[in-house]
Structure 1
Amino acid sequence: MRTDRLVAILLLLQRRGQVTAPEVARELEVSERTARRDLDALAMAGVPLYSMQGRGGGWRLVGGARTDLSGLTASEARALFLVAGPASAATPAVKAALRKLVHALPEPFRVQAEAAAAALVTDPQRWGSSPIEHRPQPRFLDELQDSVIRGVQVRLGYVDSKGVETQRTVHPLGIVAKGPSWYLVSNTEAGRRTFRIDRVASAEPTDEPVHRPEDFDLAESWREIADEVDRKRTPLEIQAVCTPDGIGLLRKVLGGRLEVGGSTTDGRVEVVIRGRNEYALAGELAWLVEWLEVTGPPGVRDHLASIGKALVERYG
């Protein structure tokens, strides 16, 4: 572990030019005492390192000594960070490895490698009950991914759900893989928009820089987009009460369409469930009668009663 720290400190020095013991301690998540001991150890080992005392002081490398420990090409570094994904969603071990790798990359590679880490979000959930299927990689995925990483605008040809093709210039912010589908999240003149990449008819990168909001987070933005789409797909809300031991089953079956509320006087739990229409939702919930009681609207209760009557007549 100490060897890892010493290498990380060396690369941190190369990147920043000058560091203090408190900065090293924060970056490597160690105590200031450990950071100072490691800096002294580097100097004693013959690394051309010197310290400056007083205000504005710190540790520097003599002559700005450089060492590339990564051995990666620019495309290899980008590919690795794309696979690893955003550091905010990574495991602690992966996060630490990415941090060390960023320090090891030569300066020309570093910016795009860090951009690649934030360029892609994977959402394994399919939309609603859509069938599982395999789709080939969209034609312009690589071009759009490259534009996100390089931060350049794209002239986009897009075919909508009615088959009408339009042309527009977009500011690509990120790529999302949801189930078998791929989406481009972009800023446009009309605001933030999402494009299905398999509907892209042409993609021509420009030399104009993307206008990217400072606080933009692709994962958070996609959660908002997905929630809005889910609500449009399931506009009906019903109220029900569920036994405590059935809540886990409801979460598994309904996912984001379930909202759990407080407890009732008889110990059950209030829930709100979203669906497409009363009849479909009644059919979906009928088998949960052991745990769930629908309290409204009346139309869903009527459909459940009809389903129960038909089952009794057939099997009773």
Structure 2
Amino acid sequence: MRIDRLLAVLLLLQRRGQVTAADVAEEMEVSERTARRDLEALMMAGVPVYSVAGRGGGWRLVGGARTDLTGLTADEARALFLVAGPAAEATPAVKAALRKLVQALPKPFRGPAETAASSLVVDPKHWGASWPAQQPPRFLEVLQEATIAGVQVQLGYNDRHGSPSRRTIHPLGVVVKGPAWYVVSNTDEGIRTFRIDRVSSVELTDEPVTRPADFDLGATWRQITEEVNRIREPLEIDGLCASDGMGKLRMTLGDRLAIGDTAEDGRIEVRIRGYNEYALAGELAGLVEWLEITAPVAVRDRLVSIGRSLVDRYSPAGLSVPS
């Protein structure tokens, strides 16, 4: 996992003082190209890493080798934790490492570092079809700064229809879902989510953010996505799938597929979300070799209708379909 490697590369730099991309590649068991990208990612995030050209060169931390992080500035510490602390990606080992790194920071930096580590969630699943990769949106950095600083923002925003508005938000965290970025905020109407590529202006204020008690960005984002999925895909159907067809089912349905227990005949219970009976039956008709829909009846009836239409269109003349 790349987050683990970034932390490991930083600790390697601290231990050795200077490393080459080849050193990192050997230590992390990755290619030199990947090692160089990891070093550049730390540098671009604001961690004080720099390259030395020529014979005997490599990559160094500003100030030389250290056994702790006390040489980092407040901004650099926040940058490190933004790189290394996305809540949806961090393994238990990474979280443990982050706790140790926090304790190595000077006391004035610990609060901002912990806030940075919990202010970003990475959700790799796309909404619906996959989108092409995009550049980070224009106002991402300043909204991250507002989140970490805990200050309210005057936000200019265009909704999905292009209608502009201006509002005051209390930014609580940033989420990247697939290629899209969102800021999760407290507002007068409750928790709201804004797509950052629709933001037209950002003005930071001196007013502190009002943060709901026991707010957790990861848990809140899960609730938001579950609600969006219920709206986008209100229909649920049940079925049984042969084990050798599960790969095709996962590839076709992605996160719209929930897997249950194994039935007595060896098939696997599944639950599938979709928009309506018509669309979902059409999508699943090509999986009939492995998948049997058990409920609701309307989807089964639609599949029967699709089957008859296929036979009518493509069967040899004179072949009838039993009712």
| TM-score, with length taken from structure 2 | 0.69
Cα distance, 1:233 vs structure 2: 0.9
Cα distance, 1:86 vs structure 2: 4.6
**SS of alignment partner, residue 81 of structure 2:** helix
Cα distance, 1:167 vs structure 2: 1.6
Q: Which shifted more, 238-247 or 183-192?
A: 238-247
Matching residue's letter, 2:76: E
Q: What's the counterpart of residue 110 of structure 1?
A: 110
Cα distance, 1:91 vs structure 2: 2.5
> Are residues 255 and 107 of structure 1, via their aligned partners in 2, closer, same or farther at CA, if it must alter by over 3 Å?
same
Q: What's the counterpart of residue 80 of structure 2?
A: 80
How far, CA to CA, are the matches of 2:263 and 2:178 in structure 1? 37
Q: What's the counterpart of residue 276 of structure 2?
A: 277
Q: Which shifted more, 140-149 or 87-96?
A: 87-96
**SS of alignment partner, residue 207 of structure 1:** strand
How far, CA to CA, are the matches of 1:88 and 1:306 in structure 2? 43
How far, CA to CA, are the matches of 1:178 and 1:86 in structure 2? 12
How far, CA to CA, are the matches of 2:102 and 2:262 in structure 1? 49
Q: Is the 8 A contact 1:70 1:101 kept in 2?
A: no
Q: What's the counterpart of residue 195 of structure 2?
A: 196
Matching residue's letter, 2:75: S
- The aligned length equals 249
Runs (5+) with no aligned partner, structure 1: 1-66
Q: What's the counterpart of residue 303 of structure 1?
A: 302
Matching residue's letter, 1:76: E
Q: Is the 8 A contact 2:176 2:182 kept in 1?
A: yes
> Are residues 178 and 88 of structure 1, via their aligned partners in 2, closer, same or farther at CA, if it must alter by over 3 Å?
closer
Matching residue's letter, 2:184: V
Deviations 1:126-165 (A, max 9, x none): 1012x42132221111111000001111111111122221
Cα distance, 1:189 vs structure 2: 0.5
Matching residue's letter, 1:108: P
Matching residue's letter, 1:105: L
Cα distance, 1:104 vs structure 2: 1.8
Cα distance, 1:107 vs structure 2: 2.3
How far, CA to CA, are the matches of 1:238 and 1:295 in structure 2? 8
Q: Which shifted more, 180-189 or 153-162?
A: 153-162
1:101 aligns with 2:101: yes
Q: Is the 8 A contact 1:154 1:206 kept in 2?
A: yes
> Are residues 87 and 304 of structure 1, via their aligned partners in 2, closer, same or farther at CA, if it must alter by over 3 Å?
closer
How far, CA to CA, are the matches of 1:265 and 1:93 in structure 2? 39
Q: What's the counterpart of residue 158 of structure 2?
A: 159
Cα distance, 1:263 vs structure 2: 6.1
> Are residues 106 and 264 of structure 1, via their aligned partners in 2, closer, same or farther at CA, if it must alter by over 3 Å?
closer
Matching residue's letter, 2:249: L
> Are residues 256 and 69 of structure 1, via their aligned partners in 2, closer, same or farther at CA, if it must alter by over 3 Å?
closer
**SS of alignment partner, residue 79 of structure 1:** helix
Q: What's the counterpart of residue 7 of structure 1?
A: none
Q: What's the counterpart of residue 71 of structure 1?
A: 71
Runs (5+) with no aligned partner, structure 2: 1-66, 317-323
1:181 aligns with 2:180: yes
How far, CA to CA, are the matches of 2:163 and 2:87 in structure 1? 39
Q: Is the 8 A contact 2:236 2:274 kept in 1?
A: yes
> Are residues 158 and 235 of structure 1, via their aligned partners in 2, closer, same or farther at CA, if it must alter by over 3 Å?
same
Cα distance, 1:301 vs structure 2: 2.4
Q: What's the counterpart of residue 226 of structure 2?
A: 227
Deviations 1:60-99 (A, max 9, x none): xxxxxxx975321222211110011256852343223322
Deviations 1:10-55 (A, max 9, x none): xxxxxxxxxxxxxxxxxxxxxxxxxxxxxxxxxxxxxxxxxxxxxx
How far, CA to CA, are the matches of 1:153 and 1:233 in structure 2? 31
Deviations 1:243-284 (A, max 9, x none): 455456534543432344566665645433211122221121
Q: What's the counterpart of residue 125 of structure 1?
A: 125
How far, CA to CA, are the matches of 1:294 and 1:69 in structure 2? 57
How far, CA to CA, are the matches of 2:89 and 2:177 in structure 1? 16
Computed over aligned residues only, the root mean square deviation of the Cα atoms, in angstroms, reads: 2.5
How far, CA to CA, are the matches of 2:76 and 2:260 in structure 1? 48
Matching residue's letter, 1:302: D
Q: What's the counterpart of residue 294 of structure 1?
A: 293
How far, CA to CA, are the matches of 2:226 and 2:246 in structure 1? 21
Cα distance, 1:106 vs structure 2: 1.8
**SS of alignment partner, residue 152 of structure 2:** strand
How far, CA to CA, are the matches of 1:247 and 1:191 in structure 2? 40
Matched-pair identity in % = 64
How far, CA to CA, are the matches of 1:88 and 1:226 in structure 2? 13
